[in-house]
Structure 1
Amino acid sequence: MYSRFLAMYNISSLKYILLSAALFLSAALKAQFHIIPQPVSIKAGSGSIVLAKNAVIGVNKETEPVGRYLQDYLNQNYNLQATVKVYEQIPAKTPIRLNNVWSNQEGAYTMHVSNASVSISGNGAGVFYGVQSLIQLLPTDKGVPLKVAACTIADQPRFGWRGLSLDVSRHFFTVDEVKKYIDVMAHYKLNTFHWHLTDDEGWRIQIDKYPKLTEVGAKISYYAKRGEFRKLDNLIDDGRDGFYTKDEIRDVIKYAQDRFVTILPEIEMPGHSEAAIFAYPQLGCQDSTGAKHRVRMLDPGEYTFKFMEDVLTEVIELFPNQYVHIGGDEAEMVDWLKSPTAVSLMKREHLKNEKEVQSYFIKRIEKFLLSKNKRLVGWDEILQGGLAESATVMSWQGEAGGIAAAKMRHHVVMTPLPYMYFDAPQANEDLEPIGWNPPVTWQMVYNYEPQSKELTNAEAEYILGAQGNIWNEKVPNAQHLQYMVYPRALAVAELTWSPKNEKNLDRFGWKMKNQYGLFKLWDFNARLPDIDGIDDVVTNKSRFKVTLNYPLKGAKVRYSLNGKMPDANSSAVAFPVKINVPLKDSIGLRTFTTWTLNDQHIRQTANVKRVTIRVAHVKAANLKPGIAYEIFKTKEQQIARLEGEKPAETGVTSLVVPVKSTGDETINWVKIKGFIKINKEADYELTSGFEVTPALFLDAVPVIKPGLNTYVEHQNALLHLKKGVYALTGNYMANKANENQTLIELKVDGGEKLYPKFYLVH
């Protein structure tokens, strides 16, 4: 029986390896083109074309602007000296052809690269998006021939809203800095630029009727230094003053339109309005008790509504797009309960509480916007007190607001914490620039799905797309901004463009690392990729061996094994780096990686601990497949306090224990107990596929610590295991964070993953 089982194990493993190899080759075929976002369909051709000096770009009347864009790009970045020729019918022998063709899908395009030519066809933005795919196929070294691999691409976007925000209120960014931000967005087919123009820390848009908004409200840092305004306590420094004239805004709008990017202006109300109130104090919410405090809330009176209508009229005259964002978030609504104006309004309109005052405010602004043929967008707090009839909701406090709005048949843009917030650090907080909230890695962004399973297919249609947000209290300059937003924005680009079933985290990671040549070409300060394999390690081996590889040519690393972090003054070595040292107890590996000449660097840490793991004195022949589990439904936060409690459910499984989240305050604690069966002595790697890690013990030794984000603090157990069985126990909290993820992953070191149903026994 055992030999039959072992034979089945070997056959199944072989099938698994062959299947994995086939999938890898398929992924590699698509990944060799490293286009982000992943096209719907891409097929490799035979050979390649070299774009010659003085190459001709053939266009028709409709595609001429995109042709001029491509001409400028090739000439500026490669000195190609391409020329654009306009034809009624573009000759077939033209090296680069941009054709306008009708399609019922906005943004769709096809591209065919042969040994003789490049042909891109599409409608609207489609040809432009095809050009962006072509740009990503070009070499990034200026001195080499511009060779493009032959291929055929058919592509179109999944969502119509593929967004990225920029907060210029906390720190002002110049017109050129904003244009560069839009440029890189457009390179990755992001099409909505959410421009956060007003907030407590600054008013950044010229309004002719109210000049003090920029004369005073745009100079908050100046007034703060003079002691005439509150200290800007949320900022990393004194802030950056400035504003955009109307001509500058028109210039940016035209620049974005040429790149098929729509600008969504945000004028914050009724909260986050301190800069406007500082310029025009009569806007502020009055306190009938006479108490002195910060005033960030607009008074809901006629002066305020007239003021906002005047402001929005001038904003609407500037911005041609369909939507205007009016904020609505974090309003300190309790201030209204002390305001004579608000209390009078509540009595007159029969409003029961301050949330209904908020709803009244938003609905009144909505009515005005509708009269101007514009639609209102607001953060999910606008749901409170009753949602305005035509409002589009940006769901930022999580998904709940967006799900509720979609169920009410309102359009939604998903921008939820934590996944879409790029002011959070990208790795361990101690190693990254200061930011808000716990770390958010590019993997977490990429894994996000905008259309929640809680929505029906009909309700999911109300999800317009998703958007990455950046708030700039801690982001003082453009180089820091670029570091915080990229490469995470690339994940937003792919999850909003590519088909859901085409998502592949490993392939995306490979493609992402291939973008750094472009970042260097554009002088763009994206955060560097991590060195793979810098993980916390538990091992029973007497030596620690690792090879540090890095995907960026010319990168160097400074490292130590004594737990002290190297810096720019430490001695540097080129990759790859082989580490092979004795291990008696523990090692603190620290790395400081640099690339290019503008001081780009990242820091990483890993702690290596030696342990002893013993074979259990149990006969494998007496064990059954699967691992035993117990489920405890409780409000208890501490697993240790459940000792002696009776489980709500027990069972055996080879996969993740099937527990659904309750939706209330009840916690689903899961305990597991069994063995890992090893058929062949070898080096093995054991880890968990949970995003939030479980507690796992092998021979009662902790090999995976609980509650860590695996993308931020990845853990590995690298163990030399003899043939036999090893006692396995563990526990975790079953919730959405680990839903449909793999509890335990075991593979031969450097090899393929093994099937849990063949090594988990009890």
Structure 2
Amino acid sequence: MWLQAICIYTVFIIIGCGIPTAAEEHSLWRWTCENNRCTKIRNEPENKEPVLSLEACKMFCDDYGLLWPKPTIETNLGNFLSKINMNTIDIQITKQGKSDDLLTAAADRFKTLVSSSVPKGFSAKAAGKSVTVYLVNENPYIREFSLDMDESYELYISSTSSDKVNATIRGNSFFGVRNGLETLSQLIVYDDIRNNLLIVRDVTIKDRPVYPYRGILLDTARNFYSIDSIKRTIDAMAAVKLNTFHWHITDSQSFPLVLQKRPNLSKLGAYSPTKVYTKQDIREVVEYGLERGVRVLPEFDAPAHVGEGWQDTGLTVCFKAEPWTKFCVEPPCGQLNPTKEELYDYLEDIYVEMAEAFESTDMFHMGGDEVSERCWNSSEEIQNFMIQNRWNLDKSSFLKLWNYFQKNAQDRAYKAFGKRLPLILWTSTLTDYTHVEKFLDKDEYIIQVWTTGADPQIQGLLQKGYRLIMSNYDALYFDCGFGAWVGSGNNWCSPYIGGQKVYGNSPAVMALSYRDQILGGEVALWSEQSDPATLDGRLWPRAAAFAERMWAEPSTAWQDAEHRMLHVRERLVRMGIQAESLEPEWCYQNQGLCYG
């Protein structure tokens, strides 16, 4: 009952006296905190206690309030809420440096988030305390992404006078301060009983992520996505502190990337002249992500997953080969021909223009999944090349051909980006732990695991010293659980993966004693059966469940987080994200009564 007493005392501070206001007298319902749950009860006429709104109750009925993802070091949400005036929020940057423009953009976003906490059609009272937010960036000259960037922050909120609240956010980089602003926005709630904005007072939060890589992959080749839909995704990512938008920009079905040096690739390969991404489009997305603490990671998948756009180059084999099931996993088939020296000039031109467009990237994804030896073996030219190199036409020899391609492509990538940046490859026969050291240097390559979380390859690769990003399809592929688009029945990775399974997918459990080699994880939305019309619902709020796992690696189960998850879904909807509903709204208002 101690928490309940705190909640009641908090409202007493807001109102200023123990006499119910007119708004309270007309409220039919009120919420009270009992056993760490907000209980909905009738507001009877004889009630003399101050009435607590639902979100105010939830803020103090759990150690982490309504925060998502939950902080990892220290969380003290104090005992009080104060009314604030949204029109008198002042944000001050205390240290100057080259990241000031990013902080200014983050401050503007913060004010927008505060505004979105008020339901559409309502206008909160312009009454209450003024709020001054002090942003203290200890390293204001850092504005570059890296795997060892410091995203930690400290947040303090106090009331210095009867009419003012101060909030101070300290971080060792822009990225940390930005994260602190995101948390601060979650500590401001709308009181729908009194039509006021409220801020939590006497707060101390110290926080940092467990994993440095926390991503979403979006495939924009199977179906095209507008720049606005991509930006909307990045907005939602920022709200839950995900930091990597992995852009799978081309595939065998389409080539929407406009290149000045190789213009025919998009002219022949895009679905239409309007469904393309120019260098300016990409730079706009990259800057948009940077301001929100989200790196935009480019992928050019090769040597498989190519086709449309390459028709006139003479650099592919088995493109649109039939029956396609003999040569690839989905139509149309297509792979690059590693024996063509001209191919590597093409790749260098592609890499150079990607480096120019994705100018803030600190990594490059080279794809490398689902390479078919049958496809390569269907080419007499490739067969002759292998024989001339005294290779057989068996699996081990085709791995040598693949390695020949990868080494040449790697050299061109380093040249194009002007540095030996970390390279990422999907798990494949090339990355098999029994022979991976023959082909890929563990200091140069990061392996992204897309097979199941129980795959022996995980432990095998970790034991060999490789760093991993987890995208195990049995928990993190968000295109699963729909009707088959080739064949009959359901699609290949069914059933649908719910938020509970996403939340429980722990890289630490999979890594065991090699946890330090896990860089993090990434959910994937492959787009054979998705486009901008379904994007938000496929990703959200499941990606938010993933975000807390990546940020905090919680030891608790889904049931302990579900009530906060329901709130973050509501928050995303208020931001304009069309997130799927998890439960009836009745469950949101009757906490604890819908758990299984």
Q: Which residue is equivalent to 2:405?
A: 361
Change (3 A) 1:380 1:31: same
Structure 1 491/40 Cα, relative in aligned 2: closer, same or farther at 3 Å?
farther
Question: Offset at 1:269?
Answer: 0.8
- Superposed counterparts of 1:578-617, under 5 Å: none
TM-score normalised per structure 1:
0.58
Rounded to whole Å, the distance in 2 between the matches of 1:286 and 1:339 is 8
Residue 429 of structure 2 is aligned to residue 395 of structure 1: no
Match of 2:315 in 1: 283
The letter of the residue matching 1:313 is V
Letter in 2 for 1:112: Y
Show the counterpart of 1:146.
197
Shift of 1:37: 4.0
Query: For this pair of structures, how many residues does the alignment match?
Result: 482
Q: Does 1:487 align with 2:487?
A: no
SS in 2 for 1:474: coil
- Structure 1 counterpart of 2:3: none
Q: Map of 1:709-724 to 2, 5 A cutoff?
A: none
Letter in 2 for 1:211: P
Aligned counterparts of 2:397 and 2:149: Cα–Cα separation in 1? 46
2:479 to 420, 423, 433: 423
Residue number among 117, 123, 133 corresponding to 2:172 in the alignment: 123
* Whole-angstrom distance in 1 between the partners of 2:149 and 2:318: 51
Gapped regions of structure 2 (runs ≥ 5): 1-33, 39-57, 118-129, 141-147, 160-164, 484-489
Q: Is the Cα contact below 8 Å between 1:286 and 1:338 reproduced in 2?
A: yes
Q: Does 1:249 align with 2:282?
A: yes
Contact kept in structure 2, 1:58 and 1:67, CA below 8 Å: no
Question: How far 1:258 moved relative to its partner?
Answer: 1.1
Cα distance in structure 1, aligned partners of 2:191 and 2:342: 59
Asked if 1:465 is matched to 2:520, the reply is yes
Aligned residue for 2:93? 59
What is the Cα deviation at residue 127 of structure 1? 0.7
Q: How far has the Cα of 1:180 moved from its partner?
A: 1.0
Q: For the residues of structure 1 that align with 2:259 and 2:572, how far apart are their CA atoms?
A: 36
> How has the CA–CA distance of structure 1 residues 403 and 23 changed in structure 2, closer, same or farther, with 3 Å as cutoff?
farther
Measure, in 1, the Cα distance between the counterparts of 2:37 and 2:139: 35
Q: What is the distance in 1 between the residues matched to 2:510 and 2:60?
A: 27
- 2:518 is aligned with what amino acid? I
Over aligned residue pairs, what C-alpha RMSD do you find? 3.6
Counterparts in 2 of 1:443 and 1:396: CA distance versus 1, 3 Å: same
Residues in 2 aligned to 1:391 and 1:105: alpha-carbon distance in whole angstroms = 19
Q: What is the CA-CA distance between 1:36 and the residue it aligns to? A: 2.2
8 Å CA contact 1:140, 1:521 repeated in 2: no
> Relative to structure 1, is the Cα distance of residues 494 and 353 closer, same or farther in structure 2, using a 3 angstrom cutoff?
same
Structure 2 distance, partners of 1:171, 1:22, is: 45
Equivalent of residue 111 in structure 1, options 149, 155, 169: 155
For residues 456-500 of structure 1, the C-alpha deviation after alignment (integer angstroms, 9 at most, x for no partner) is: 3xx33221101110011111324x111011111112211111144
Deviation at 1:94, TM superposition (A): 6.8
Structure 2 match to 1:449 = 506
C-alpha distance after superposition, 1:58-86 (max 9, x if no partner): 11224743244323442576299xxxxxx
Q: Distance in 2 between matches of 1:349 and 1:54?
A: 74
Distance 1:488 1:79 in 2: 21
- The 1:576–1:465 alpha-carbon spacing in structure 2 relative to 1, beyond 3 Å, is closer
Go from structure 1 to structure 2 and tell me whether the alpha carbon gap of 1:50 and 1:68 turns closer, same or farther (over 3 Å shift): farther
Q: Which residue in 2 is equivalent to 1:185?
A: 237
Alignment correspondent of 2:221:
169
Following the alignment from structure 1 to structure 2, what is the Cα–Cα distance between the partners of residues 526 and 173? 17
Aligned to 1:206: 258
Is the 8 Å Cα contact of residues 206 and 243 (structure 1) preserved in structure 2? yes
1:326 aligned to 2:366?
yes
Alpha carbons 2:191, 2:198 under 8 Å: kept: no
Q: Cα distance, 1:424 vs. partner?
A: 1.8
Structure richer in strand, relative to its length: 1
The answer to whether the 8 A contact 2:318-2:335 is kept is no
Distance 1:442 1:72, change over 3 A: closer
For residues 707-736 of structure 1, what are the alpha-carbon distances to aligned partners after superposition, in whole Å with 9 as ceiling and x for unaligned?
A: xxxx9xx7xxxxxxxxxxxxxxxxxxxxxx
What is the CA–CA distance in structure 2 between the aligned matches of 1:170 and 1:410, rounded to whole Å? 30
Report sequence identity in percent. Answer: 23
- The CA deviation at 1:311 is 0.9
Q: What corresponds to 2:387 in structure 1?
A: 347
Q: Aligned to 1:497, what secondary structure does the other structure show?
A: helix
Work out whether 1:315 is the aligned partner of 2:349.
Answer: no
Task: Classify 1:56/1:367 alpha carbon distance in 2 versus 1 (closer, same or farther; 3 Å).
Answer: same
Check if 1:299 corresponds to 2:337: yes
Q: Output one character per residue of 1:413-469: Cα deviation in whole Å (capped at 9) or x when no partner.
A: 010011111112499xxxxx989521211110111111345643xx33221101110
Instruction: Provide Cα deviations, 1:515-549, integer angstroms capped at 9, x if missing partner.
Output: 23322321211110135xxxxxxxxxxxxxxxx94
Which structure has the larger Rg? Answer: 1
The amino acid that maps onto 1:192 is T
TM superposition shift of 1:185: 0.4
Question: CA offset at residue 336 of structure 1?
Answer: 1.3
Structure 1 runs not aligned, ≥5 long: 1-19, 81-92, 223-239, 428-432, 532-547, 554-574, 579-710, 715-762
Tell me if structure 2 keeps the 8 A contact 1:40–1:498.
no
The residue identity in structure 1 corresponding to 2:378 is: K
- Please state whether the residue corresponding to 1:451 is helix, strand or coil: helix
Residue number among 295, 298, 302 corresponding to 1:262 in the alignment: 295
> Is the CA contact (8 Å cut-off) linking 2:449 and 2:468 kept in structure 1?
yes
Q: Which moved more, 1:240-249 or 1:110-119?
A: 240-249
**Structure with more helix by fraction:** 2
Structure 1 pair 141–486 and aligned structure 2 pair: CA distance change class (3 A) = farther
Q: CA 1:313/1:402 → structure 2, altered by over 3 Å: closer, same or farther?
A: farther
**Paired residue type of 1:424:** C
Q: CA deviation at 1:166?
A: 0.8
d(CA) in 2 for partners of 1:121 and 1:197?
A: 36
Task: Give a deviation string over 1:198-254, Cα, whole Å, max 9, x none.
Answer: 0122112111111111112012xx6xxxxxxxxxxxxxxxxx971111111111111
Supply the distance in 2 between the matched residues of 1:465 and 1:552 (Cα, whole angstroms).
34
3-state SS of 2:277 partner: coil
Q: Does 1:97 align with 2:134?
A: yes
- 2:529 corresponds to which residue? 474
Cα pair 2:218 2:526 within 8 Å, conserved: yes
Distance 1:214 1:136 in 2: 42
The Cα offsets for residues 561-598 of structure 1, whole Å up to 9 and x where unpaired, read as xxxxxxxxxxxxxx9999xxxxxxxxxxxxxxxxxxxx
CA deviations on 1:126-176 (whole Å, 9 max, x unpaired) are: 110011111222225799322111221100010100111111111111111
Equivalent position SS for 1:461: helix
How far the C-alpha of 1:193 sits from its partner, in A, is 0.7
Deviation, structure 1 residue 514: 0.8
Q: 1:552 to 1:360 in 2, by over 3 A?
A: farther
Equivalent position to 2:185, from 111, 135, 139: 135
- Contact 1:35 1:137 survives alignment (8 Å): no
Does the 8 Å CA contact 1:109/1:123 hold for their aligned counterparts? yes
SS in structure 1 of the partner of residue 77 of structure 2:
strand
Higher relative contact order by CA 8 Å / sep ≥ 6: 1 or 2? 2
Whether the 8 Å contact between 1:466 and 1:496 is mirrored in structure 2 is: yes
1:378-389 map, 5 Å: 378-381=425-428, 382-384=430-432, 386=436, 387-389=439-441
Q: Structure 1's 454 and 44: CA in aligned 2 closer, same or farther, altered over 3 A? A: closer
1:481, 1:51 → 2: CA distance? 35
Q: What is the rounded CA distance, in whole Å, between the counterparts of 1:576 and 1:448 in structure 2?
A: 23
Gap change, CA 1:96 and 1:471, over 3 Å in 2: same
One-letter code of the match for 2:535? L
Query: For residues 113 and 290 of structure 1, what CA distance do their matches in structure 2 show?
Result: 65
Using structure 2 for the length normalisation, give the TM-score: 0.73
CA distance, structure 2, for counterparts of residue 332 and residue 110 of structure 1: 50
Does the alignment pair 1:520 with 2:573? yes
